[in-house]
Amino acid sequence: MIKAAIIGGSGYVGGELLRLLWFHPKVKVVTVTAGSHTGEPVSSIHPNLTKICNLKFTKENLKEISKTADVVFLALPHGISMGKVKDINLKKTKVIDMGADFRLKNLETFEKVYKTRHLQPENLVKAVYGLSELNLEKIKKAEIVACPGCFPTGALLALFPVAKKGLLSGKVIIDSKTGSSGSGIKLSAGSHHPERANDFKAYNIFSHRHFWEIEETLSNLQGTKVDMVFTAHSAPMVRGIFTTAYVFLDKSFEEKEIKKIYSEAYKNKPFIRLVPSPHVSVVSCTNYCDIGIYIKGKTLIVTSAIDNLVKGSAGQAVQNMNIMFGFPENIGLTFPGSHP
Amino acid sequence: MIKAAIIGGSGYVGGELLRLLWFHPKVKVVTVTAGSHTGEPVSSIHPNLTKICNLKFTKENLKEISKTADVVFLALPHGISMGKVKDINLKKTKVIDMGADFRLKNLETFEKVYKTRHLQPENLVKAVYGLSELNLEKIKKAEIVACPGCFPTGALLALFPVAKKGLLSGKVIIDSKTGSSGSGIKLSAGSHHPERANDFKAYNIFSHRHFWEIEETLSNLQGTKVDMVFTAHSAPMVRGIFTTAYVFLDKSFEEKEIKKIYSEAYKNKPFIRLVPSPHVSVVSCTNYCDIGIYIKGKTLIVTSAIDNLVKGSAGQAVQNMNIMFGFPENIGLTFPGSHP
Amino acid sequence: MIKAAIIGGSGYVGGELLRLLWFHPKVKVVTVTAGSHTGEPVSSIHPNLTKICNLKFTKENLKEISKTADVVFLALPHGISMGKVKDINLKKTKVIDMGADFRLKNLETFEKVYKTRHLQPENLVKAVYGLSELNLEKIKKAEIVACPGCFPTGALLALFPVAKKGLLSGKVIIDSKTGSSGSGIKLSAGSHHPERANDFKAYNIFSHRHFWEIEETLSNLQGTKVDMVFTAHSAPMVRGIFTTAYVFLDKSFEEKEIKKIYSEAYKNKPFIRLVPSPHVSVVSCTNYCDIGIYIKGKTLIVTSAIDNLVKGSAGQAVQNMNIMFGFPENIGLTFPGSHP
Amino acid sequence: MIKAAIIGGSGYVGGELLRLLWFHPKVKVVTVTAGSHTGEPVSSIHPNLTKICNLKFTKENLKEISKTADVVFLALPHGISMGKVKDINLKKTKVIDMGADFRLKNLETFEKVYKTRHLQPENLVKAVYGLSELNLEKIKKAEIVACPGCFPTGALLALFPVAKKGLLSGKVIIDSKTGSSGSGIKLSAGSHHPERANDFKAYNIFSHRHFWEIEETLSNLQGTKVDMVFTAHSAPMVRGIFTTAYVFLDKSFEEKEIKKIYSEAYKNKPFIRLVPSPHVSVVSCTNYCDIGIYIKGKTLIVTSAIDNLVKGSAGQAVQNMNIMFGFPENIGLTFPGSHP
């Protein structure tokens, strides 16, 4: 049993992480912090855990926590995590950050996109980008893992097999649709039920922060800068991200050739399923990513469906923890979705 | 053409009212006020009116407005309207209040329920309770009309025919279910899309303010205090209220007897439809109230479906205006719902 | 490890049961049948089980199945199960029926409500009504368990503590609201998304089959025939049943007195949670039943929230299996819901 | 007052058309037919019209209908309309077809896509493609108007201004998301509420029939074959289509240059609104098409939101009728959407 601490447990991501770790056979949750909720039972914020998890939110004291915890999960707003890491003894305690602070490898890009100076450039370099299916070997040895954003998870799982083969030399369009839980527990006009329930819209066109995260990773895989567009949309559902990726290839491929590239890239990956038609509802509340592959001449369309809070965040964080500590990659994460 | 002013046009009720009045063939909207939004186009808050209504929110100056307006609609939070009426010359300008300030006739009940002193007890007495189907003759001559709350509209239309006949001597249970627009444009945890979209709950059990409004009206009709219970529920939809009312009668009735009581009470009422099975979706965005009547021995069940923002508020306000100014009762309100 | 067979695995209830049993540490699923789907992978109907459960639907041959299976679950349309039981050796193989055929103890009532002759009156008598919290001791020794209907589960858990105390001498009104999964996988106009998504309605007023199931159980507990009304409603959600029960008591109770009755009745019941405000979303996809208790004088309101497919069907069936085989009551069912 | 007949009034499109025409100040609906529903009141299928429209479905007899009707609307499944037109005297009675039979101008494409021989190639040539904003002058003189499909309406209104300028020489990607009413009143697994309510998926990738309709129109405008991809998605809402179109231009444009192209193309078009951010909810149940324009270098993104049953079908049909008969283009269609 390893000891885990959750810093920032009052949001949807922190709550989902707690739910997963609480039932994880190799983990004991020793601390969950949540700023203004210190002293309250976790079930006062996450009523699903009533009579299940008897923890209370505690005060955040990272130096203290770091003494006992084998792993610290940071589920904090962007810009906060990077100020916390200095209080953790990385030789002793591993860090899994679920925010954006350690995702982008390029410091300049980070500071442009997040409009702030990075407080720990040395750890930015050291941190491993935690797309579990991409960086398995690096994650095994990492001291800090930066879990990908929810949109990047869906987009990169749809495209990394072809990027790794250098097939992204033409234009790439990524059109993603998310549920409302992606905006978090904080109230906002865009998540007000009367406005959201029957609506569909695009937002942050040409300026969504996840563009740079996807672009950096795909370009590194491709070996040259990928010419891509990314658009985020709000769909009237709670859970899930559906991504439709359009790739314009240099030459025609047969369906079976492309499918082989995917099945090889995802051999032994327990959470990737190549399916005829991904559905958000099928992967909802699971760590699975369902992928559909369609080709016509030089045009490749890849669709993916994930749950934004599980595979897109807390589930992938646990998957990374499993890898870091030498547990089976899927332990604690094997539950399926429901039907319907 | 009469001149109408809307005080408080930035909420859902005010916006719905503006939409209805803007297309009303007998009305010219001269002013729409909205506190902090003064100077902004109404379409900045109500995007459905883009390129349709070119008004801007103006500063509230009731004395000035009262000089030109034939009717002033007050779409304000509870407790505010009663402080405004003194600035309106009621001999010249009629007032239609959509808040709660003039609904309850019993001053003591008002002060207990709304936990505040009433600033205009004399106008409380004078104000007519604006359930159009109930108080047609009084509304014709009223200077101030207090439009009913949304739950009371659905509940009272379901029950007033039997109350008027004195049949409510036994227990009455009113179980109502509302959409999220009833809580207004202001953000709240209960209307946060991720929490609301797949949820159902009861709230304010034994303490919902609309209890006293329903009880007072039914008791006045019945002639003695009605022994009733009212429970409000949040349903995962945007528009509409569905009410299930259970009445325990002193003696058995045949179905046709009871239905006759309803068809007579609602003869010539353009917005009441007696139907086999009311559906919220059918009356959504309309001024109709669909009513279903079911009897078995001494147990009577009456169900009703209304749109909370139209028949439950802005539409009924316009209906009352039509009555007050001698227009056909249904003018400007004849539009049906959509299917689906 | 016991061996389980599922007869009728292609519906929502059968699929949910398969999902639960597949991960149950004490159970091996040996057979899943599904009439016209024989030979197809279960994941062709239940895509959530893709790459998780590799079973195929097999032909139904109960005599054969009964030779190996320790327990047979019947997830069949009403009227079918009672014709199947004769092929099962009840001394060797236990039967858990999820349909209505063995629920009502009164043969006359059964034949009136279901409009068919009962094929196995002797087993009707023998079968134990499988409301786990009510009949624990009988279920332990049962050969056939008849799992309650979904509405009765929510209603009876809300009321049995007071019925057992003989407090239901006055009127009882049960107003329930269900999600669309309750109508099953078969297409119907009432579950057509364009019609259902923004709608709310009541149905089968005074004639819903679950009335008699609730009435029989409550009356048996009370000792005299309970004077009750039950109304079912369709809510625009997929999962869950919310029940609002109104009880008119003979005398006033203090809140703590009533709450004590509930806490004692539900002591050691792992899936009952007494909470301030039950929410359907909180129990969704779980085996929990959350109960809220409110009293004012002689009027008692009890609300309950369950998941119709889990606690209202497949989950309760597994709970009953646990009890029948001497496993811990909650094994395989401890998972919480998600937030949101 | 002109006389209108609706052939096929029992679907969502026919019902919506009836609702619009019933309130149209220049139209009298003389006949609504609906095969198997002959003799039933229209409100038995469209309950929103209860107590509003007292018509009954009549038997279809086009020769007879054609004698009195000035205009016949065909709201029929694909492949049926083309067999009906021969019974209509086109010199006397205008035809507005809402199906696909007369949309594609290229006979070969039609027969390939719809897998059937065309029964009226001569009328295929004669029929005018009824995208009101594109073909105003031709529609004025048309005997047969073929109303566009719902996806093509949203996509073409997003792109025709740039196509007309010949700017579609590069790749064009059209990613569209539709509500469930687009699949019609007929029950289907994809529109089963339990499956649809929390789901998102793509369908008919590379093979959706609307691809060819969009491609033909854009290519005709551009002057050369446009290299495009179209993907349809199912979103968990009832009404509306949101389209995200990606255009790769030959050269960079400034935002104001592109916006000018749109504002000029849509000058005097009463139902087109150029807005900062189109929302499906804002145009729901209206004839408006809201368009958002975004450019970065050579990459142009255009988004559009329409209601699939109004602007995408019945509303546009009425708009075309207005044009054909010399009425103001927007008469009977000026109603706004609601908020929320």
| Mean pLDDT confidence for C120-139 | 96
Burial label for B96, CB within 10 Å (0-12, 13-18, 19+), is: buried
CB C291 within 8 A of CB C302: yes
Which residue among C126, C158, C187 closes a domain? C126
Identify which of D244, B191, B37 has the alpha carbon closest to the alpha carbon of residue A204.
Answer: D244
Task: List subunits contacting chain A, requiring 3 or more Cβ pairs under 8 Å.
Answer: B, C, D
A116 and A61 in one domain?
yes
CB B286 within 8 A of CB B337: yes
| Residue A340 belongs to some domain of the structure | no
Tell me the per-residue pLDDT of B152-203, one tens digit each, with 9 for 90 and over: 999 999 999 999 999 999 999 999 999 999 999 999 999 999 999 999 999 9
* B171-178 and B227-234 beta bridge pairing: parallel
**Nearest-angstrom CA–CA distance, C124 and C128:** 8
| Residue A261 belongs to some domain of the structure | yes
CB A335 within 8 A of CB A284: no
Tell me the per-residue pLDDT of B243-270, one tens digit each, with 9 for 90 and over: 999 999 999 999 999 999 999 999 999 9
| Residue D326 belongs to some domain of the structure | no
Coil/strand/helix, residue D49? helix
User: Using only C-alpha atoms, what is the Rg of chain B?
Assistant: 19
pLDDT surpassing 90 at residue C35: no
Partner-chain contact B48 D337, CB within 8 Å: yes
User: Taking a contact as any Cβ pair under 8 Å apart, which residues of chain C between 9 and 28 contact chain A?
Assistant: 12, 15-16, 19, 23
CB D309 within 8 A of CB D301: no
The CA distances from residue B121 to B49, B108, B148, D79, in Å, are 38, 10, 18, 70
- Encoded amino acid at A281, one letter: S
Tokens read off for B72: 């002033």
Contacts of C22 (CB under 8 A, 6+ apart): C29, C49, C52, C53
Which residue among D78, D111, D126 closes a domain? D126
List CB contacts (< 8 A) between C237 and chain D: 197
Which residues of D are known catalytic residues? 150
D157 and D105 in one domain?
no
List CB contacts (< 8 A) between D305 and chain A: 200-201
Nearest to A340 among D195, D239, D296 (CB): D195
C234 and C178 in one domain?
yes
Percentage, residues of chain D above pLDDT 90: 99
pLDDT at D279: 98
SS (H, E, C) B181-246: HHHCCCCCHHHEHHHHCCCCEEECCCCCCHHHHHHHHHHHHHCCCCEEEEEEEECCCCCCEEEEEE
Residue in this structure with the two tokens 């695995």, named with its chain if needed = C9
Tell whether B193 is within 8 A of chain A (Cβ).
yes
pLDDT at C28: 98
B173 and B296 in one domain?
yes
Q: Which helix (H) or strand (E) holds A265?
A: helix A255-265
Cis peptide before C340 (omega within 30 of 0): yes
Nearest to C46 among A50, A53, A339 (CB): A339
| Residue D202 belongs to some domain of the structure | yes
Tell whether C238 is within 8 A of chain A (Cβ).
yes
**Least Cα separation, residue D13 to chain C (angstroms):** 13
DSSP type of residue A314: I
Percentage, residues of chain C above pLDDT 70: 100
Q: Where are the beta strands (DSSP E) in B235-324?
A: 241-248, 272-274, 289-296, 299-306
Which residues of B are known catalytic residues? 150
User: Taking a contact as any Cβ pair under 8 Å apart, which residues of chain C between 252 and 271 contact chain D?
Assistant: none
Residue in this structure with the two tokens 């056939």, named with its chain if needed = C144
B293 and B184 in one domain?
yes
Nearest residue of A to residue B238, measured between CA atoms = A194
**Nearest-angstrom CA–CA distance, D152 and D149:** 5
Nearest residue of D to residue A201, measured between CA atoms = D279
Tell whether A187 is within 8 A of chain B (Cβ).
yes
List CB contacts (< 8 A) between B296 and chain C: 206
**Least Cα separation, residue A268 to chain C (angstroms):** 12
**In 10 A of CB D256, how many CB atoms?**
10
Domain interval for residue D267: 150-308
A282 and A170 in one domain?
yes
D225 backbone dihedrals φ, ψ, rounded to 5°: -65, 125
D231 and D105 in one domain?
no
Average pLDDT, chain B: 97
* B144-146 and B128-129 beta bridge pairing: parallel
Q: Is the dihedral of CA A289, A294, A295, A301 positive or negative?
A: negative
**First-last CA distance in chain B:** 35
Residue in this structure with the two tokens 């003189």, named with its chain if needed = D141
Coil/strand/helix, residue C26? coil
Nearest residue of D to residue C193, measured between CA atoms = D193
pLDDT surpassing 90 at residue B118: yes
Q: How many domains does one find in chain D?
A: 2
**Least Cα separation, residue B46 to chain A (angstroms):** 11
C278 backbone dihedrals φ, ψ, rounded to 5°: -65, 145
Nearest to A181 among B181, B188, B194 (CB): B194
Nearest to B48 among D16, D23, D338 (CB): D338
**Nearest-angstrom CA–CA distance, B212 and B215:** 5
Which residues of A are known catalytic residues? 150
Partner-chain contact C177 B233, CB within 8 Å: yes
Tell whether D278 is within 8 A of chain A (Cβ).
yes
pLDDT surpassing 90 at residue B51: yes
Partner-chain contact B48 D282, CB within 8 Å: yes
- Encoded amino acid at C9, one letter: G
Tokens read off for C119: 């094929």
Left if phi > 0, otherwise alpha if psi is -120 to 50, otherwise beta: which for D50? beta
D238 and D111 in one domain?
no
Partner-chain contact C238 D188, CB within 8 Å: no
The partner residues of C172 in beta bridges, in order of sequence, read C228, C247
Residue in this structure with the two tokens 């193989």, named with its chain if needed = C93
List CB contacts (< 8 A) between A192 and chain B: 185, 187, 191-193
Helices (H), chain C: 12-22, 42-45, 62-68, 107-114, 121-126, 136-141, 150-164, 193-196, 210-222, 255-265, 280-283, 315-324
D215 and D83 in one domain?
no
**Least Cα separation, residue A12 to chain C (angstroms):** 7
Nearest to D180 among C12, C181, C194 (CB): C194
Burial label for B152, CB within 10 Å (0-12, 13-18, 19+), is: buried
Partner-chain contact A198 D240, CB within 8 Å: yes
Identify which of C306, C293, C279, C313 has the alpha carbon closest to the alpha carbon of residue C247.
Answer: C293
pLDDT surpassing 90 at residue C154: yes
pLDDT surpassing 90 at residue A100: yes
The partner residues of A297 in beta bridges, in order of sequence, read none
List CB contacts (< 8 A) between A196 and chain B: 193, 197
CATH number at residue C15: 3.40.50.720
CATH number at residue A185: 3.30.360.10
List CB contacts (< 8 A) between C340 and chain B: 194-195, 197-198
Partner-chain contact D202 A242, CB within 8 Å: yes
Partner-chain contact D171 A171, CB within 8 Å: yes
pLDDT surpassing 90 at residue D171: yes
CB C331 within 8 A of CB C263: no
pLDDT at C291: 98
**Least Cα separation, residue D16 to chain B (angstroms):** 7
A275 and A157 in one domain?
yes
B235 and B163 in one domain?
yes
| Residue A160 belongs to some domain of the structure | yes
Q: What is the DSSP string of D215-242?
A: HHHHHHHHSS---EEEEEEE-S-SS-EE
Tokens read off for A50: 């009533």
Partner-chain contact C336 A285, CB within 8 Å: no
**In 10 A of CB D39, how many CB atoms?**
11
Task: List subunits contacting chain D, requiring 3 or more Cβ pairs under 8 Å.
Answer: A, B, C
CB D283 within 8 A of CB D339: no
Nearest residue of A to residue B48, measured between CA atoms = A195
Tell whether D340 is within 8 A of chain C (Cβ).
no
Nearest to B301 among C205, C239, C282 (CB): C205
Partner-chain contact A334 C48, CB within 8 Å: no
The number of C-beta contacts closer than 8 angstroms across A and D is 134
Tell whether A46 is within 8 A of chain C (Cβ).
yes
DSSP type of residue B148: P
**Nearest-angstrom CA–CA distance, C313 and C291:** 18
D110 and D24 in one domain?
yes
| Residue A20 belongs to some domain of the structure | yes
List CB contacts (< 8 A) between B239 and chain C: 198
Tokens read off for D144: 């047969």
DSSP type of residue B37: G
List CB contacts (< 8 A) between C15 and chain A: 339
Q: At C121, is the pLDDT very low, low, confident or very high (cuts 50, 70, 90)?
A: very high
Specify the long-range contacts of residues B64-69, CB closer than 8 Å, at least 24 apart. B65/B5, B65/B7, B65/B30, B65/B31, B65/B33, B66/B92, B66/B93, B68/B3, B68/B5, B68/B30, B69/B3, B69/B4, B69/B5, B69/B30, B69/B31, B69/B93
> Which residue, among C201, C230, C248, would best test binding to B if mutated, counting the most B CBs under 10 Å from its CB?
C201
List CB contacts (< 8 A) between B197 and chain C: 340
Tell whether C199 is within 8 A of chain B (Cβ).
yes
pLDDT surpassing 90 at residue D272: yes
| Mean pLDDT confidence for B64-90 | 95
ipTM of the complex: 0.97
Q: At A76, is the pLDDT very low, low, confident or very high (cuts 50, 70, 90)?
A: very high
**Least Cα separation, residue B310 to chain C (angstroms):** 16
pLDDT at D35: 86
Q: At B35, is the pLDDT very low, low, confident or very high (cuts 50, 70, 90)?
A: confident
Cis peptide before B340 (omega within 30 of 0): yes
**Least Cα separation, residue A188 to chain B (angstroms):** 7
CA atoms within 13 A on the CB side of B179: 33
| Residue B96 belongs to some domain of the structure | yes
pTM (2 d.p.): 0.98
Tell me the per-residue pLDDT of C223-280, one tens digit each, with 9 for 90 and over: 999 999 999 999 999 999 999 999 999 999 999 999 999 999 999 999 999 999 999 9
Tell me the per-residue pLDDT of A112-138, one tens digit each, with 9 for 90 and over: 999 999 999 999 999 999 999 999 999
Contacts of A260 (CB under 8 A, 6+ apart): none
Tokens read off for D329: 């283009």
| Residue A110 belongs to some domain of the structure | yes
Tell whether C227 is within 8 A of chain B (Cβ).
no
The CA distances from residue D111 to B246, D79, D116, D118, D215, in Å, are 60, 11, 5, 7, 16
The CA distances from residue A9 to A34, A72, A83, A169, C14, in Å, are 5, 12, 18, 42, 36
Tell whether B46 is within 8 A of chain D (Cβ).
yes
Partner-chain contact D193 C238, CB within 8 Å: yes
Which residue among C126, C161, C184 closes a domain? C126
